[in-house]
């Protein structure tokens, strides 16, 4: 059975959401981010990203990591794209062109959007960091305009249906969702994000995430 290392309050959410979309059974090992616990290197610390056993599995020391029939794979977007290719179904690519486009949108999210969206998530509530957050939102204007323009004429990113490309990008743009003004300037993205997050598989993942300690 597929094993997912990582708590749901992490980028493992992307993998877990996809498993629910695909009805793919999995075993979850709740490895937690080292920075979220006191002394991560103490012998009695819970499994975390600095645990020797976890580092032996994945020297990058970051979650999520999967074990899939002998394949050990890190990087959340590589994992979701791998699972979507392998298990097919409408959420995965039907041909090389779709595969290429799903990779394109996923990497665009990771490189052009995720860093500034994460800044909004991490610092958005802090009045002291308002300027940093405003700069991040300003930098997002261009890449979000690209996504907005596409979604203004397409219900989904690739192939006219919900796919792993939507899942990957939705989980990245979610980081910026708390910036109401930014989202209001992108109505097509907002409607698409709502549709993605209304999916039963997202809700199942989200309920598990909320059930974990903050």
Q: Which is nearer to ligand GSH, 3 or 33 (CB)?
A: 33
C-alpha to C-alpha distance for 206 and 39, rounded to whole angstroms: 28
Number of other residues whose CB lies within 10 A of the CB of residue 60:
10
* Token pair in block for residue 105: 């949108």
Please report how close the Cβ of residue 42 comes to ligand GSH at its closest, in angstroms.
Answer: 15
Nearer to ligand GSH, 11 or 186 (CB): 11
Taking the complex as a whole, how short is the minimal distance between the CB of residue 5 and ligand GSH, in angstroms?
Answer: 10
Contact 25, 89 (CB under 8 A): no
| Residue number with CB closer to ligand GSH (81 or 91) | 81
Please check whether residue 169 is in contact with residue 105, taking contact to mean a CB–CB distance below 8 angstroms. yes
Structure tokens at 9: 């309050």
Q: How far is the CB of 149 from ligand GSH (least distance, A)?
A: 26
- Pick between residue 78 and residue 155 the one whose CB is nearest to ligand GSH: 78
Cβ nearer to ligand GSH, comparing 65 with 189: 65
Question: Which strands sit side by side in the sheet containing 2-5, from one edge to the other?
Answer: 26-29, 2-5, 65-68, 71-74
Smallest distance, Å, CB 13 to ligand GSH?
8
H or E stretch at 28: strand 26-29
Partners of 4 in beta bridges: 28, 66
Kindly state the smallest distance separating residue 88's Cβ from ligand GSH, in Å. 23
Q: Can you read off the two tokens belonging to residue 126?
A: 């802090």
Q: Where are the beta strands (DSSP E) in 71-137?
A: 71-74
Q: Which parts of this chain interact with ligand GSH (CB under 6 A)? A: 10-11, 33-35, 49, 62-64, 75-77
Smallest gap from Cβ 37 to ligand GSH, in A, equals 10
**How many Cβ atoms from other residues are within 10 Å of residue 114's Cβ?**
21
Q: Which is nearer to ligand GSH, 42 or 141 (CB)?
A: 42
């Amino acid at each position: 059975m597929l094993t997912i290392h990582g708590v749901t309050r992490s980028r493992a959410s992307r993998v877990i959401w996809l498993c629910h979309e695909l009805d793919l059974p999995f075993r979850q090992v709740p490895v937690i981010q080292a920075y979220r616990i006191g002394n991560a290197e103490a012998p009695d610390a819970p499994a975390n990203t600095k645990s020797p056993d976890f580092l032996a599995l994945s020297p990058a020391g970051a979650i999520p990591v999967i074990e899939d029939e002998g394949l050990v794979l890190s990087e959340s977007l590589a994992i979701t794209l791998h699972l979507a290719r392998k298990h097919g179904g409408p959420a995965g690519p039907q041909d090389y062109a779709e595969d290429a486009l799903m990779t394109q949108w996923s990497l665009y999210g990771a490189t052009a959007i995720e860093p500034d969206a994460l800044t909004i998530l991490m610092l958005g509530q802090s009045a002291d960091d308002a300027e940093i957050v405003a700069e991040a939102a300003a930098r997002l204007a261009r890449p979000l305009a690209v996504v907005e323009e596409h979604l203004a004429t397409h219900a989904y990113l690739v192939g006219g249906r919900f796919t792993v490309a939507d899942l990957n990008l939705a989980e990245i743009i979610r980081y910026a969702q708390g910036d109401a003004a930014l989202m209001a300037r992108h109505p097509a993205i907002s409607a698409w994000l709502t549709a993605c997050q209304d999916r039963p598989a997202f809700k199942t993942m989200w309920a598990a995430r909320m059930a974990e300690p903050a």
